[in-house]
Amino acid sequence: MPGFEWTRFKRSLTPYMFLLPALVFMVVFIYQPIVQSFRYSLYKWSAFSASESWKYVGLDNYTRVIEDDIFYTSIVNNIWYAVISVAVQVCFGLVLAALLESQILPRLYNLVFRTALFLPSVLAVTIVGITWQLVYSPATGLINQLLEYAGLEAFKRTWLGEEGTAIFAIIGVSQWQWTGYIMILFVVAIQAIPHELYEAARIDGANGIQQFFHITVPGVRQTFLVMSTITVIGAFQVFDIVWVMTAGGPNHASETLGNYLYRVGFRNDEMGYASALATVMFLITFVLSFVQLRLGGGIQQQEAH
Amino acid sequence: MLRRYGPKFVVLVVLISLLIGGIGTSAAQGQVTIRFFHKWPEPEHMDYYNWVIEEFEKAYPNIKIEMEAVADEPYKDKIRVVMASGDVPDIFFSWAGEFSWKFARAGRALPLDEYVYGTDWENDLIMSATVPYQWDGKLYGLPMRINAKFMVYNKEHFEKYGLSAPTTWDEFLAVCATLKENKVIPIAFGNEFPWASSHYVGDFNAKLVPGDVIAADYLLQGEADTLFTHPGYVEALARFKLLNDEGYFNEGANALQHSLARASFIAGRAGMFYMELEEFQQVADQMGADAFGFFPFPSGTGGEGDQNLLTGAPDGFMVSAETKHPEEAITFLRFMLSPERGAEYVRMLGIPSAVAGAVNEETALPIVVAGVEAINQASGMALWLDTDIDIRIVEVYLPGMQALLTGSESPESIMAKVHEAAVKIQAELAQEG
Amino acid sequence: MARLQHAGRRAARQPLDRYRARQLFTQLIVLSLFVVLTVIAIYPMIWVVTNSLKSDVDLFEQTWAFPKEPRWQNYERAWQFGIGRYIINSVIVTAASVVGTAIISTMAAYALARYRFRGQTFLLFFILGGLMLAPQVTLIPLFRTLVKLGIYNTYLALILPYIAFGIPFSTFLIRAYVMGLPRELEEAAFIDGAGPWGVFLRVIVPLSRPVIASAMVIEAMRAWNEFMFALTFIESDKLRTLTIGISAFQSTLRAEYTVVMAGLAIAAIPMILVFLIAQGQLIRGLTAGSLKG
């Protein structure tokens, strides 16, 4: 019965048809460029040069990465970014969400706080960056004025202008912007936990902290892993807020990998070296998320079910 | 259910196709479009350029000018991105010196000799301002305006504390000390983008290091061992560091923008400010033309360089080598860089045009005229350090200056790094031939 | 559970008013924590708004005070800069990429969740692998690709890459949700003679609306905030999105600080308004998204 064969064949094609657009987009705009990037990293070339004048240099660009002090500064800054972001946005965000959902406060308060804390995340990153530049400004900025007011002159800093504080000042801004956002996602996740569990625990006399560790945390485990993954990967990709606030300065102290890559490529005309940095960034983020998914059993676990 | 969602889908598809279709812009028949890209998006400047374009399109109805502008700091990246895109504007802004030679070297800029030399255009321009746009014996850029850096001072503060314009480095330091004693910030300084410190250091260099040594070092033509090793370079950074360590700059210079520093000078919080001639008008507008005076920065007393140099450079335009319409592009530049439009530039913006005779008592404030006079009397110009040396050296040198201010690097360690970078880049350039 | 029961006995032994007092105390602590956080979250914005109505000199002299007399001309000047245009551009780019991402991701998620086919695991990882790839890595080659496609410096130069980078996460989210849906409805539709597309449009899409909404919200925020591609792939002022427009605006008007602040306020207000108005839907969408899962 040829008709049947044809139908079966067509049916076997169906999933591919559904996947086709996604695959095309990903090949053209993600995978193809990444492969290209690796090829580019083997050449010495600038934005100006025609492709005939590209010079093949083998792995020279990679040896240079290994010897580059600024590269290490960037990596360390990215690590700080990741650690602080997971601690504040994800962990603290979860605690805040749990507090909001524990019904300690009346509903109306909840709504106000949720709205207020979520608000920074709807602002464009440049608006946030410029605003905080003003807040950190040495003489007229909010922070130094507050410190002065509190009698803590000794702690006044040129927050974005000192090598020791610049990156942390920027990381702080990210926490300001995103903690509320992640908190809301946790609120949603907590609401998905069956109420009966909490009621049962309450009848059993469990206090809030016990409920948090025995019901909330296991209940949002999946969300927690997803959020941590996204946050860590985001920390290694960070570019915009750094570029807006310090562009990596002073003296490369707040350089992050993304920022440095952009600078090397589009400011210093060293596209080959920038591509090598890009490949390194690719490896780092890839390995990180792989390890994290592995540890959390994210995809695998879902496969099983 | 399909029926329920059908209409929505259709609307969506229509919207998307409208969006995509709406992107292509149609070009009128028989018309030539010249794309013009510069770094002055400020409304005052745009007013001027819009006026020029309007006048031009009236005079040449078959040529249409399409203008695009981004601000100073982003321009440095944007022009490279645009070059890399292969979609190069016909006329584009470039700083003088190395920044423009890079385009010439890569064959991306059109030589302009035949359009300028031997024509009456030669008489209309301040030809000395074309020098930094010459590379390998050819002219690649035309100056729009001339500019130099002066130390300006608040007359009220100077009068009050019995100070006068210093003429030596020691006198300058004494002025700073007096201001500081009287709780006035001696020098307003905003170094958020480190080009601001490069203007200081460039000036120190020019006056503390002999001219031929500087030329050899900046162009990477000296012996590898000697590049950037003249003691004058270390002294230059040391003097700059001294101003900082003595507390003669405002606090937090590294996080302060140049414009905010200027605002604090205008507000009378600071005694002096190192600024460009092109800013004179703006400061005069806000603080009064009589409220401030200027003097050449006496930065190099005792040094081996030329003490009569000023730091500054012309700003100008280059024509893309890939342009399909060189004649039309030149026609537009010729139109803009003419006595009439030059004088209007000065009148509208208070910034000295590179058109000969455009700055005069009628078009400009006396203090701007005096500034141009000072440029004419100077023995020459030291170009902006950050656009006059290879960008890869700049990337070591300028952040080093920021580190100098925070105390994490010393003059010696910075120059050692600069030397190292210069040697490496010289070798690379030699390899490329 | 043993531990919980133990705690329960302990609680029961406590007198009622002490329990109430403790509850009140907790309430107070939590309340003050949230009040402090709220002030931190909101105050910088208020500070910008109050200062946007001052003159530059007042900004220097009295950052803290309320403006003596509001200088609305700051807003006028900022508006003349074309912030409206930037906002429209952002809306266009965001809307197009959100819709594109949602359609493509839902299709992909459906295939991955409901079909068994050759290469399934590979394709799953192929798509989810995008989560692990930094847009920075693609920046330079992507730039060249867009130039070759002739869409550099057009809306599409942003929309298409945004869609591509939005697919992995949206697919991830929607697939997980679809896998949790009961199969009965689909089976019923199949029995009624619906083909795969019919099932997709009539069953999967309507049932997944909450999670699609969540995915769209997330993608919208990403596209709205995107900076690097917008910085690199757009050259014309006419096409600049808000993030880039504002930073261009700031680097142009650096000298006029209070005008910059006015511009920030103008740029932020529509976003805040949209959020406050649509907040209900937004949070309900997110909530529904996981409650029904």
Q: Tens of pLDDT along A118-128?
A: 889 888 888 89
Contacts of residue C199, defined as CB under 8 A and 6 or more positions apart, other chains included, come to: C186, C189, C190
Give the three-class secondary structure for B220.
coil
Give the three-class secondary structure for B63.
strand
Domain count of the fold of chain A: 1
pLDDT exceeds cutoff 80 at B407? yes
Give, in order, the Cα–Cα distances in Å from B213 to each of B223, B418, C271. 11, 15, 57
Instruction: Kindly report, residue by residue over C227-280, the tens digit of the pLDDT.
Output: 999 988 998 888 999 888 888 888 777 667 788 888 888 888 877 888 887 776
Q: Which residues of C touch B69 (CB under 8 A)?
A: 237
Structural element, H or E, at residue B56: helix B43-59
Is C160–A112 a contact, with Cβ atoms under 8 angstroms apart? no
Q: Touching check for A109 and chain C: CB below 8 Å?
A: yes
Q: Place A210 in a pLDDT band, splitting at 50, 70 and 90.
A: confident
Average pLDDT of the segment spanning B265-285:
92
| Nearest residue of chain C to residue A276 (CA atoms) | C137
Contacts of residue A222, defined as CB under 8 A and 6 or more positions apart, other chains included, come to: A189, A298
> Among A105-114, B4-13, C275-284, which range has the highest average pLDDT?
A105-114
Q: Touching check for C283 and chain A: CB below 8 Å?
A: yes
Cα C254 to its chain centre, rounded Å, is 29
Q: Touching check for C156 and chain B: CB below 8 Å?
A: yes
| Nearest residue of chain C to residue B40 (CA atoms) | C252
pLDDT exceeds cutoff 70 at A12? yes
Higher pLDDT: B271 or A146? It is: B271
Q: Which percentage of chain A shows pLDDT scores above 70?
A: 91
Asked if domains B32-147+313-379 and B149-311+390-432 share a fold, the reply is yes
Cα B337 to its chain centre, rounded Å, is 18
Q: Place C3 in a pLDDT band, splitting at 50, 70 and 90.
A: very low
| Nearest residue of chain B to residue C156 (CA atoms) | B20
| Choice among A28-42, A192-206, B286-300, C278-292 with the minimum mean pLDDT | C278-292
Instruction: Kindly report, residue by residue over C195-238, the tens digit of the pLDDT.
Output: 888 999 999 999 998 888 888 887 887 888 889 999 889 988 88
Q: Tell me which residue in B69, B85, B259 faces C147 most closely, judged by beta carbons.
A: B85
What local confidence, expressed as pLDDT, does residue C16 receive? 67
pLDDT exceeds cutoff 80 at B220? yes
- DSSP symbol at A153: G
Average pLDDT of the segment spanning B293-303:
92
What local confidence, expressed as pLDDT, does residue A105 receive? 83
pLDDT exceeds cutoff 80 at C14? no
Residue A42 lies in a domain: no
Exposed / middle / buried, residue C249 (Cβ in 10 Å: 0-12, 13-18, 19+): buried
Whole-angstrom distance, CA of residue B423 vs CA of residue B431: 12
pLDDT exceeds cutoff 90 at A87? yes
pLDDT exceeds cutoff 80 at B341? yes
Residue A21 lies in a domain: no
CATH architecture of residue range(s) B32-147+313-379: 3-Layer(aba) Sandwich (3.40)
Residue A55 lies in a domain: no
Exposed / middle / buried, residue C284 (Cβ in 10 Å: 0-12, 13-18, 19+): middle
Mean pLDDT, chain B, as a whole number?
A: 88
The answer to whether C267 and C242 have CB atoms below 8 angstroms apart is yes
Is A48–B106 a contact, with Cβ atoms under 8 angstroms apart? yes
Average pLDDT of the segment spanning B353-370:
90
Q: Tell me which residue in B42, B70, B86 faces C147 most closely, judged by beta carbons.
A: B86
pLDDT exceeds cutoff 80 at A18? yes
Where helices occur in B132-256 by DSSP H, the ranges are: 155-160, 169-181, 195-208, 211-218, 231-245
Neighboring chains of A (3 or more beta-carbon pairs < 8 A): B, C
pLDDT exceeds cutoff 70 at A271? yes
Q: Tell me which residue in C154, C252, C255 faces B263 most closely, judged by beta carbons.
A: C255
The domain spanning residue A102 has which CATH number?
Answer: 1.10.3720.10
Which residues span the domain enclosing A163?
71-298
Q: Which residues of B touch A160 (CB under 8 A)?
A: 192, 254-255
Residue A19 lies in a domain: no
Whole-angstrom distance, CA of residue B293 vs CA of residue B175: 15
What local confidence, expressed as pLDDT, does residue B432 receive? 67
Whole-angstrom distance, CA of residue C158 vs CA of residue C137: 16
Whole-angstrom distance, CA of residue A256 vs CA of residue A75: 7
> Where in chain A does DSSP place strands (E)?
43-44, 55-56
Q: Touching check for C147 and chain A: CB below 8 Å?
A: no
Interface predicted TM-score (ipTM): 0.81
Q: Place A301 in a pLDDT band, splitting at 50, 70 and 90.
A: very low
| Nearest residue of chain B to residue A135 (CA atoms) | B255
What local confidence, expressed as pLDDT, does residue A293 receive? 66
Mean pLDDT, chain C, as a whole number?
A: 83
What local confidence, expressed as pLDDT, does residue B205 receive? 94
What local confidence, expressed as pLDDT, does residue C61 receive? 66
Q: Tell me which residue in C1, C140, C179 faces A274 most closely, judged by beta carbons.
A: C140
pLDDT exceeds cutoff 70 at B173? yes
Whole-angstrom distance, CA of residue A48 vs CA of residue B103: 8
Q: Which residues in chain C (61-120) have CB-CB distances under 8 A to chain A?
A: 63-64, 90, 103-105, 107-108, 110-112, 115, 117, 120
Is B255–A158 a contact, with Cβ atoms under 8 angstroms apart? yes
Looking at the DSSP bridge assignments, the partners of residue B153 are B272, B293
pLDDT exceeds cutoff 70 at C11? no
The answer to whether C211 and C174 have CB atoms below 8 angstroms apart is yes
Residue A64 lies in a domain: no
Domain ranges within chain C, ordered by starting residue: 2-71, 82-252
Q: Which residues of C touch B87 (CB under 8 A)?
A: 147, 152-153, 235
For residue C211, how many other CB atoms are within 10 A of its CB? 27
Average pLDDT of the segment spanning B365-383:
89
Whole-angstrom distance, CA of residue C43 vs CA of residue C61: 20
Q: Which residues of C touch A274 (CB under 8 A)?
A: 140
Average pLDDT of the segment spanning A189-209:
86
Q: Tell me which residue in A18, A34, A192 faces C107 most closely, judged by beta carbons.
A: A18
What local confidence, expressed as pLDDT, does residue C283 receive? 65
| Choice among B341-345, B346-350, B385-389 with the minimum mean pLDDT | B385-389
Fold of C82-252: MetI-like fold (1.10.3720)
Average pLDDT of the segment spanning B176-195:
92
Average pLDDT of the segment spanning C2-9:
46
pLDDT exceeds cutoff 90 at C59? no
Instruction: Kindly report, residue by residue over B21-74, the tens digit of the pLDDT.
Output: 444 444 445 789 999 999 998 888 999 999 999 999 999 999 999 998 888 878
Q: Touching check for A191 and chain C: CB below 8 Å?
A: yes
Is C136–A127 a contact, with Cβ atoms under 8 angstroms apart? no
Q: Which residues of A touch B255 (CB under 8 A)?
A: 133, 136-138, 158-161
Size of interface A-B (CB pairs under 8 A): 90
What local confidence, expressed as pLDDT, does residue C270 receive? 77
Q: Touching check for A65 and chain C: CB below 8 Å?
A: no
Q: Which residues in chain A (234-293) have CB-CB distances under 8 A to chain C?
A: 236-237, 239-240, 243-244, 257-258, 261-262, 265-266, 271, 274-275, 278-279, 281-282, 285-286, 288-290
Q: Place B433 in a pLDDT band, splitting at 50, 70 and 90.
A: low
Where helices occur in chain C by DSSP H, the ranges are: 2-13, 16-51, 56-61, 73-79, 83-114, 120-128, 135-149, 156-179, 184-191, 196-199, 205-207, 209-225, 228-233, 242-252, 257-291
Residue A278 lies in a domain: yes
Q: Touching check for C78 and chain B: CB below 8 Å?
A: no
For residue A296, how many other CB atoms are within 10 A of its CB? 17
Is A124–C291 a contact, with Cβ atoms under 8 angstroms apart? no
Among A79, A82, A50, A35, which residue's Cα sits nearest to residue C137?
A35
Q: Which residues in chain C (11-70) have CB-CB distances under 8 A to chain A?
A: 11-12, 23, 26-27, 30-31, 33-34, 37-38, 40-45, 47-48, 51, 59-60, 63-64
Q: Which residues in chain B (57-76) have CB-CB distances under 8 A to chain A?
A: 76
Instruction: Kindly report, residue by residue over B124-168, the tens digit of the pLDDT.
Output: 988 888 888 999 899 999 999 999 999 999 999 999 999 999 999
Instruction: Kindly report, residue by residue over C120-161, the tens digit of the pLDDT.
Output: 999 998 998 887 777 888 888 998 899 889 898 899 999 999
Q: Tell me which residue in A158, A160, A268 faces B391 most closely, judged by beta carbons.
A: A268
Mean pLDDT, chain A, as a whole number?
A: 85
Among C71, C85, C62, C77, which residue's Cα sits nearest to residue C255?
C77
Q: Which residues of B touch A255 (CB under 8 A)?
A: none
Higher pLDDT: C119 or B429? It is: C119
The answer to whether A121 and A109 have CB atoms below 8 angstroms apart is no
Q: CATH: 3.40.50.2300, 3.40.190.10, 3.30.1600.10, 3.30.1540.20. Which one for B149-311+390-432?
A: 3.40.190.10
Domain ranges within chain B, ordered by starting residue: 32-147+313-379, 149-311+390-432
What local confidence, expressed as pLDDT, does residue A247 receive? 86
pLDDT exceeds cutoff 50 at A35? yes
Average pLDDT of the segment spanning B321-341:
93
